[in-house]
């Protein structure tokens, strides 16, 4: 992205969020750019790729997953998962399409098919795909018209024969072990939905940056933004039952996962998808596609409406992220939420408490309280391990537990001298989670100590 683009985006951000937030956002962005220079794409070694191919060949020749990989793969599913990769194409650049197909041919998992659904008017896509006609797994279908991303993808899925369908944008490409890692997770879990980590690359596919290492499925973080994104796979039967909805084009994958079962979503914590940034792409500048962020907001609002959850969805100060306001509050709207808590800062605006991991470490410690953190996670609602009692609210059903742990009435919020806030907070949240409640990071809650 050029300096002019950076300045334009900064001015737009300042117009929406004010000078203070813009100052801190700009400082964060400068640090991120510095970190981008040190990020190196982690491609599997030649030895690792050979081992994966050998395993695939052993499975193909009759070896069972449990015998070759261990008892955890004895899930009772029959056969090796076949993955149908759907690519809706429209006047795709020849170089990008070659890179995409070559990345499929490099896959160490062999049980796949590539379905290219061409909605363009020229013969460019057909000509490129024809070059690979010797491989019967690569299939070309000409669509009668360009119906948009959802209709074109739905049309591609009609031809799919796989157990799962995966979504690959026509200008992106995969790591050579992408389908292998996905297939292992499928054989281990028989999940309904699967997603991986991702990064971005320049138009030439040479420089990689912005690694997005995602959490496992996190409901409140997902209600705040479509962090799942790429690479996304879903059981073919489930996809054909749900399909993509064209009224949410631009956020059609977000709408799809919102409507899918949430109990069987598996995360593969490896960067296996490369999102290419080039002029006009969403990866290069999301500002070119404001309709996509609005489609995401509308899809999330539809999800809440259909689920009977009284909530209103608005755009947050970060593009592509959403603020959800529950009526009358989150505890009434969502009975699964037990605790909410926010950040604690010192008089120098440095974060000293608020969110804790399972070891009692302060998440975002030392960061300026007005900064948003990596992928805006400090400024985005999410389910977490623990929050600090000094900036906490709980539902009524947990007041007895509160008194046991803190030896104080929740209504009074007075603590004994020498209380170890951190340890007690982690213990309280651990026990609340054990009772089935979610612990939610609420960035709008703040306290100064």
- Count how many domains the chain has: 3
> Residues of 321-355 as b/e, b for ≥16 C-beta within 10 angstroms?
bbbbebeeebbebbeebbbbbbbbbeeeeebbbbb
- Give me the pLDDT at residue 435, please: 98
- Give me the pLDDT at residue 284, please: 55
- Give me the pLDDT at residue 263, please: 83
Same-domain check for residues 77 and 186: yes
Same-domain check for residues 228 and 332: no
**CB of 115 within 8 A of CB of 86?**
yes
Same-domain check for residues 210 and 99: yes
Start-to-end Cα distance in the chain: 40
Same-domain check for residues 34 and 51: no
Extract the tokens encoding 296: 């995401």
- Give me the pLDDT at residue 262, please: 86
| Nearest one of 103, 107, 123 to 275, comparing CA atoms | 103
Cα(276)–Cα(207) distance, integer angstroms = 10
Extract the tokens encoding 111: 């049980």
Domain assignment present for residue 323? The answer is no
Same-domain check for residues 94 and 18: no
Extract the tokens encoding 223: 């209600």
E strands in 251-375: 265-276, 311-315, 322-326, 337-345, 351-353, 355-356
| CATH code for position 278 | 3.90.550.10
Same-domain check for residues 130 and 216: yes
- Give me the pLDDT at residue 69, please: 87
User: What does DSSP say about strands 265-276 and 193-201: parallel, antiparallel, or unpaired?
Assistant: parallel
Same-domain check for residues 176 and 90: yes
User: Which of residues 260, 286, 312 is at a domain's end?
Assistant: 286
Cα(283)–Cα(358) distance, integer angstroms = 34
Containing structural domain, residue 20: 1-38
Same-domain check for residues 111 and 196: yes
Same-domain check for residues 13 and 122: no
Cis peptide bond upstream of 328, omega within 30: yes
Same-domain check for residues 21 and 166: no
- Give me the pLDDT at residue 63, please: 85
Cα(110)–Cα(106) distance, integer angstroms = 9
Same-domain check for residues 34 and 107: no
Domain assignment present for residue 250? The answer is yes
> Residues of 151-190 as b/e, b for ≥16 C-beta within 10 angstroms?
bbbbbbbeebebbbbbbbbbbbbbbbbbbbbbbbbbbbbe
Alpha helix positions (H), 378-434: 399-406, 421-434
Domain assignment present for residue 314? The answer is no
Cα(231)–Cα(164) distance, integer angstroms = 13
- Give me the pLDDT at residue 439, please: 98
- Give me the pLDDT at residue 7, please: 60
- Give me the pLDDT at residue 74, please: 73
Over the chain (449 residues), the average pLDDT of each successive run of 10 is 57 63 63 67 93 94 86 78 97 96 97 97 96 97 95 97 97 97 95 96 91 96 96 97 97 97 93 86 59 96 98 94 97 98 95 95 94 91 97 97 93 78 95 98 94
Partners of 337 in beta bridges: 438
């Amino acid at each position: 992205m050029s300096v002019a683009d950076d300045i334009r985006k900064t001015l737009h951000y300042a117009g929406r969020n004010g000078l203070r937030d813009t100052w801190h956002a700009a400082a964060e962005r400068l640090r991120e750019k510095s970190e981008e220079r040190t990020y190196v794409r982690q491609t599997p070694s030649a030895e690792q790729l050979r081992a994966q191919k050998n395993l695939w060949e052993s499975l193909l020749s009759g070896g069972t997953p449990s015998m070759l990989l261990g008892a955890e793969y004895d899930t009772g599913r029959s056969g090796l998962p076949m993955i149908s990769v759907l690519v809706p194409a429209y006047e795709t650049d020849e170089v990008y399409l070659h890179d995409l197909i070559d990345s499929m041919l490099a896959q160490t998992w062999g049980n796949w098919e590539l379905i290219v659904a061409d909605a363009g008017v020229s013969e460019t896509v057909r000509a490129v795909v024809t070059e690979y006609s010797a491989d019967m797994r690569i299939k070309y279908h000409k669509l009668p018209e360009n119906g948009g991303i959802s209709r074109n993808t739905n049309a591609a899925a009609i031809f799919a024969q796989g157990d799962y369908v995966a979504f690959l944008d026509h200008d992106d490409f995969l790591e050579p072990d992408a389908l292998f890692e996905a297939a292992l997770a499928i054989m281990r879990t028989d999940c309904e939905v699967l997603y991986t980590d991702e990064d971005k690359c320049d138009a030439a596919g040479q420089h990689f940056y912005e690694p997005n290492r995602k959490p496992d499925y996190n409901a409140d973080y997902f209600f705040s933004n479509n962090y799942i994104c790429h690479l996304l796979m879903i059981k073919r039967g489930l996809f054909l039952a749900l399909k993509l909805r064209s009224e949410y084009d631009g956020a059609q994958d977000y709408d799809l996962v919102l409507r899918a079962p949430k109990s069987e979503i598996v995360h593969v914590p490896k960067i296996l998808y490369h999102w290419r940034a080039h002029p006009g792409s969403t990866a290069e500048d999301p500002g070119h596609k404001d309709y996509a962020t609005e489609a995401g907001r509308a899809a999330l609002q539809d999800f809440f409406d259909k689920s009977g959850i009284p909530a209103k969805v608005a755009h947050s100060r970060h593009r592509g992220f959403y603020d959800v306001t529950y009526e009358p509050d989150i505890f009434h709207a969502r009975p699964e939420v037990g605790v909410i808590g926010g950040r604690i800062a010192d008089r120098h605006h440095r974060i000293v408490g608020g969110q804790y991991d399972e070891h009692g470490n302060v998440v975002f410690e030392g960061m300026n309280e007005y900064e948003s953190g990596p992928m805006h996670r400090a400024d985005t609602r999410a389910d977490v391990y623990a929050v600090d009692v000094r900036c906490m609210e709980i539902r009524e059903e947990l007041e007895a537990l509160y008194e046991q742990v803190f030896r104080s009435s929740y209504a009074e919020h007075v603590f004994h001298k020498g209380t170890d806030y951190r340890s007690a907070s982690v213990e309280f949240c651990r026990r609340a989670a054990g009772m089935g409640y979610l612990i939610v990071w609420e960035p709008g809650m703040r306290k100064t100590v």
